Copies of this chain bind each other. A is one copy, B any other.
Amino acid sequence: MAKLDSIFHCLADPTRRAVIAQLATGASPVSELAAPHDMALPSFMKHINVLEAGGWIETQKKGRVRTCRLCSGAIETAESWLDQQRRIWERRLDQLDDFVATLDDERIQK
């Protein structure tokens, strides 16, 4: 899925992860989000745009303030993909265990 590209691309940058982490504790205007990051505002805004395009946040402007809030879709898609891979992987490890157990049983039978 092409959406996964942009969802995970958002997470591959410390500034964007920090924004997500901060927004998890509550909505915030852009300038407040930008404050902790030593970076010019246009540079920071690019990250905001990337996060919005990736479906991590949504924003709305009231007066001259743009407020950003986290939305649920992206994190669910991300976790669900990871979960699926982990399940496939763990199921296979279990099958390996069973296989080894079978070998052991056969050895005992002798």
Residues of A within 8 A of B (CB): 2, 4-6, 8-9, 11-14, 17, 20-21, 24-26, 70, 75, 78-79, 81-83, 85-86, 88-89, 92
- Count this chain's copies in the assembly: 2
Alpha-carbon distance between A8 and B78 when the two chains are bound, in angstroms: 10
A78 to chain B, nearest CB (A): 6
* Cβ-defined contact, B9 with A85, below 8 A: no
Q: Which residue of B lies closest to A76 (CB)?
A: B86
* Cβ-defined contact, B26 with A92, below 8 A: yes
Alpha-carbon distance between A6 and B70 when the two chains are bound, in angstroms: 23
* Cβ-defined contact, A24 with B88, below 8 A: yes
A4 contacts across to B, CB distance below 8 A: 11-12, 14, 17
* Cβ-defined contact, B11 with A89, below 8 A: no
Alpha-carbon distance between A88 and B85 when the two chains are bound, in angstroms: 24
* Cβ-defined contact, A85 with B5, below 8 A: no
Alpha-carbon distance between A9 and B4 when the two chains are bound, in angstroms: 11
